[in-house]
Structure 1
Amino acid sequence: MTNDRMQDTARCVTELRDLFIRHERFAPLEHRFTLLSAKRLADIETGRTSEARGIALSGASGAGKSAAIEHLITRARKRLEAEGHGEMTIVSLRVPSPATLKFVGQELLRALGYQIGAERQAWYIWDLVRHHLRERRVLFVHLDEAQDLACRGTRHELNAVASMLKTLMTDGEWPVGLILSGTEDLEDILNHDPQLARRMNTIHFESLSPIADGENATDLLANYCARGKLTPVEELLTRAHGERLVHAAANQFGLVIELILEAMERAYLAGAASLTAVHFAESYQQRAACGDAFNPFIIPDFYRIDPRQVFTRRPD
């Protein structure tokens, strides 16, 4: 295998990863955010300082939340900037670890272009956060992996997190909308405080079903192959393979895409013009370090395999 082929493969796969395939779950997210944004701008234009609202997106790991939010924010930023609202209308931050309120505040200040020493107290840091959000006329703050805001789950911690989020949304001078994305544990933060929950539009990305969504998975596969100039063999476009694919992805939309791209990567590296089941089997083996008996793209009874497990080479 030549270095040129590896470089070409990396380039092709990177371009495919940058694609966003619109799906039925994205439409409600986009609609709610567009309406929320329009209301926030209307308040600003009329000089009102009513409380801001937010969106909370939850789903299992691999459900495709991050890709959906990234696409949503990228499009919104371009639109808002084109309308003359500035470059920092939406600030996005992955919640750091350890996710103390002080550390999150420091990271948010850095995202806003302001550095601060670690010796400052949390209350001072968050006063600065609100100041810089107002000065830069930020409309929304996005916190990814937001469930980590309350990773210890104590009542005191949940109270502090909920209070901080509500303060941003109800600031008397410049209320800021929130976009929270994370696993189902994010729901615990919202359910802990009804006042916070009522200010949020909640959306959940449900898991897929191999039987119900198998054909959609094969449609997705065909779409990526067309974009990537690979011809899928007929076997891959059957409902049976779609069911295998969804199960191997632990029923998660984002992981379905990952498995497709990894199989295409194997085909590119092999110099193949067609995508086959062998490429899926090889890429899954590389991902999970499993034996053939635990590879859902090889064995007939693939439903017995737990796709969340890795290094499975022999029965317990």
Structure 2
Amino acid sequence: MTDQIDLHRANLRALKNQVRQKRLKNDRDDDLADEIQSMLDNIDDFFEYGSCEDRRGLFVTGPAGTGKSTALKHILQTNPALQPYRNEHNALVRPALSIKLPKESKTNVVVEQVFKALDLPAEGSEKLLTPMMMDALMAHKVKILHFDEAQHTVRSQTNAAFEAVQDMVKQLVDWEEWPLHVILSGMPRIERMRDDQQIGRRSMVFPFRRLEIESDKYVFAGLLNEVSADCGLQLRDNLREDDFLGRLCKSTHGAWGTAIGDIRRACFRALTKRKSELTVSHFAQEYERNTGALLKENIFLAENWEQLEVKETLKAMRDEEEK
């Protein structure tokens, strides 16, 4: 009996890992891939013709859980033109560099993170290191520089510190000697940088928005079908109804990535209980586990769910993610 239990757990762990590893496609993925391909075409224009379009910045914005970081990561890791390689001198060339910024990233932190990503030491003052960073980016032939969690350059900064970040972005996207293109991804507040006219006219915005149940019902239905099938589970009929899809949308704040995570966890709960069918109770139990919600507060069970707010403990956790 113990051996059978251990085997079940091992098989379940393997299946859960397989399901987590599978990437689900966002409706915005292809459009974002096209934007990045346009950047690469613009870079090719620079090398072939000596000039290119001035717009070298891209702001990819959206609330937490909407899928922006996952989409960017996938594109940067799979576009053949952006993969690292060794040149004729056996030196490592990295056409794309992706950096996740820590909280409260002032310009000195940004510079240090670039050196770290290039596996280079960063010793000296910011004034000394900034031109060295530019030289290093050119030497490593970095064409696309991506800063994720870019809201950390905006949050809790003095005006002087924020303007310094703006100046650095301007310097990077207005580089005459090298056609560097910069992607900044993060919460919508990063668009404040574009209030600077030079950055505004040299950049574009690609927003990821929250889903709405009336127009995006098919998205939630599609995610339910795909994830449950990946887990080998049947869907109880009422999970296909508008009422349940509305509850799922509300509980996830309409965030595409959050919905995927919540559906997976509900499926894993069903599998742990050795069930072959996914039901509302699995979602309700996961919601309670995640928020501490009482029965009357549980969006998946309460009759007045449309009037409820997502449980405060969940809201607090997600607010913290967005800082």
TM over 0.5: yes
1:190 aligned residue: 194
Residue 53 of structure 1 deviates from its aligned partner by 0.5
Q: Are 1:97 and 2:110 an aligned pair?
A: no
2:237 aligned residue: 234
Q: Are 1:63 and 2:69 an aligned pair?
A: no
Q: 1:49 to 1:123 in 2, by over 3 A?
A: farther
The residue matched to 2:312 in structure 1 has which SS? Answer: coil
TM-score, length-scaled by structure 1: 0.89
1:167 aligned residue: 171
1:310 aligned residue: 313
- Structure 2 Cα separation of the partners of residues 308 and 169 of structure 1: 42
Q: Are 1:21 and 2:27 an aligned pair?
A: no
1:123 to 127, 136, 141: 127
2:139 aligned residue: 135
Deviations 1:25-79 (A, max 9, x none): 2232121111111111232244547756021111111211111111121122x34
The count of corresponding residues between Structure 1 and Structure 2 is 308
Structural mapping, 1:1-316, within 5 Å? 2=5, 4-48=7-51, 53-76=56-79, 78-81=80-83, 88-117=94-123, 120-191=124-195, 193-307=196-310, 309-310=312-313
TM-score, length-scaled by structure 2: 0.87
- Structure 2 Cα separation of the partners of residues 176 and 258 of structure 1: 35
User: Is contact 2:293-2:311 (8 Å) kept?
Assistant: no
Q: 1:266 to 1:44 in 2, by over 3 A?
A: same
Task: Choose 169-178 or 9-18, whichever is displaced more.
Answer: 9-18
Which amino acid in structure 1 is aligned with residue 201 of structure 2? R
The residue matched to 2:261 in structure 1 has which SS? Answer: helix
Which amino acid in structure 1 is aligned with residue 164 of structure 2? A
User: Is contact 1:57-1:181 (8 Å) kept?
Assistant: yes
In structure 1, the gaps of 5 or more residues are none
The residue matched to 1:173 in structure 2 has which SS? Answer: coil
The residue matched to 1:185 in structure 2 has which SS? Answer: helix
When the two chains are superposed, the root-mean-square deviation of aligned CA atoms in Å is: 2.4
Task: Choose 21-30 or 52-61, whichever is displaced more.
Answer: 21-30
In structure 2, the gaps of 5 or more residues are 316-323
Which stretches of structure 1, 4 residues or more, deviate above 6 A after TM superposition?
Answer: 82-86
- Structure 2 Cα separation of the partners of residues 261 and 167 of structure 1: 43
2:320 aligned residue: none
Residue 5 of structure 1 deviates from its aligned partner by 4.0
Residue 299 of structure 1 deviates from its aligned partner by 1.1
Residue 7 of structure 1 deviates from its aligned partner by 4.3
Deviations 1:254-291 (A, max 9, x none): 11111111111212221222211111111111111221
Deviations 1:127-177 (A, max 9, x none): 221111111101111111101112224321221111101111222322311
Which amino acid in structure 2 is aligned with residue 251 of structure 1? G
- Structure 2 Cα separation of the partners of residues 53 and 143 of structure 1: 14
- Structure 2 Cα separation of the partners of residues 238 and 306 of structure 1: 21
Residue 310 of structure 1 deviates from its aligned partner by 1.6
User: Is contact 1:216-1:242 (8 Å) kept?
Assistant: no
Identity of aligned residues (%): 22
- Structure 2 Cα separation of the partners of residues 257 and 47 of structure 1: 45
